[in-house]
Amino acid sequence: MSEQLSDSDASGSDVNDADSAEEFDWVDDPAVEAICATLVETVPEIRTALAQRRAYVDRENPSGERIRAADEFADDRLETALLAVDGVASYASEERAEPVFGEEVDGGDAGRGYHLAVDPLDGSSNLRSNSPMGTIVGVYDRPLPASGEHLVAATYVLYGPNTTMVVAESERTAEYLVTETGAEVLDSEVEIPMDPTVYGMGGRRPDWTERVTEATEAMEADRLKLRYGGAFVADVSQVLTHGGLFAYPELRDAPEGKLRYHFECAPMGLITESAGGAATTGDGDWRDVEPTELHERSPIYLGTESLVDEIETTFENW
């Protein structure tokens, strides 16, 4: 992961739309390439709109969480843009109870084309504190719900001091700077550092299970630095940049954890593994989860392989 941008990088003056399409030519599938290019065109508008859409609206999402105007705006813009991409059959969102199908499959074969699972604005509670947020997109080759075996590509956008996008497909992960004029490669092959320096564990410490507490204390004993920012995208970006582990674990009263499998756990698992890291549910491979509901939750532990191995070893002893 690139840790520093030059002045010319940040200005975006050397980036244009034609270049943006070419930046993704390493991606094997033209539809996935088009999805990435569409995100580059769409996310600058979402970022610009955040400041004026901080208030809550009068409804909750299917997981029972309050929705901000920014969540709705991002969801609407992404649905319109991504369903217009050739090869996209459906759009599912954390903010919607059911997937929306493209016109070309209405009343037809919903199994044809790719099925997108989108977290339109991950960490939107950070709007009030002006902290990082993001967008996550998982690309599945089967209608949802589906296991991680059917996840063919994933990407996230981080709205931080700069807007960056990380794309994973075909066992490769790349990072881009995104501006209003296009995308520019920052790191053509992201590799998670093998020597970990940071960790983060979601949830309240009193709510952790005993085995989660034991695993966390082991990382603290190794003097890893705590990093936890309240947005999954930002926390994973820390791990990809510095090496380490981030998890939203099982809890005493919520063994399924907090994060949604299709929208968060599986896409970030693929991104981390494609960058040379590892990911687990704590009880097995994240790909082996067989969800029966669109908004199903799952624990997830991801990062530098050695730390993920330690999590699995600790858990196996309980």
Would the CATH topology of 7-187 be identical to that of 198-316? no
- Determine the topology of domain 198-316 in CATH: D-Maltodextrin-Binding Protein; domain 2 (3.40.190)
Q: Which of 12-21, 42-51, 249-258, 309-318 has the lowest mean pLDDT?
A: 12-21
User: Can you give the residue ranges of every domain in the chain?
Assistant: 7-187, 198-316
CATH number of the domain located at residue range(s) 7-187 in this protein = 3.30.540.10
- Mean pLDDT of all residues in 67-90: 96
What is the model's pTM? 0.92
Answer yes or no: is pLDDT of 5 > 70: no
CA-to-CA distance for 44 and 225, rounded, in angstroms?
32
Within 8 A by CB and 6+ apart from 278, the residues are: 272, 302, 303, 304, 305, 308, 309
For residues 1 and 185, give the distance between their C-alpha atoms in angstroms, rounded to a whole number.
11
C-alpha span between 269 and 70 (Å, rounded): 26
* Inter-CA distances, 245 with 223, 225, 278, 313, Å: 13, 10, 9, 15
pLDDT digits (tens, 9 = 90+) for 6-60: 444 444 434 444 455 568 888 889 999 999 999 999 999 999 999 999 888 989 9
Q: Would you say 272 and 279 are in contact if contact means Cβ atoms under 8 Å apart? A: yes
Residue type, 214: E
Mean pLDDT, rounded, for 79-105: 93
pLDDT of residue 9: 47
Among 21-30, 50-59, 124-133, 271-280, top mean pLDDT goes to 271-280
Say if residues 145 and 294 touch (Cβ distance below 8 Å): yes
Query: What are the structure tokens assigned to 181, written together?
Result: 């004029």
Report the share of the chain in percent with pLDDT over 70: 91
Average pLDDT of every residue of the chain:
91
CA distance 156 to 294: 19
CA angle 65, 69, 72 (to 5 degrees): 75
Calculate the alpha carbon distances from 177 to 107, 127, 164, 172 in Å: 39, 21, 5, 17
Residues 152-183: tens digit of each pLDDT:
999 999 999 999 999 999 889 999 999 999 99
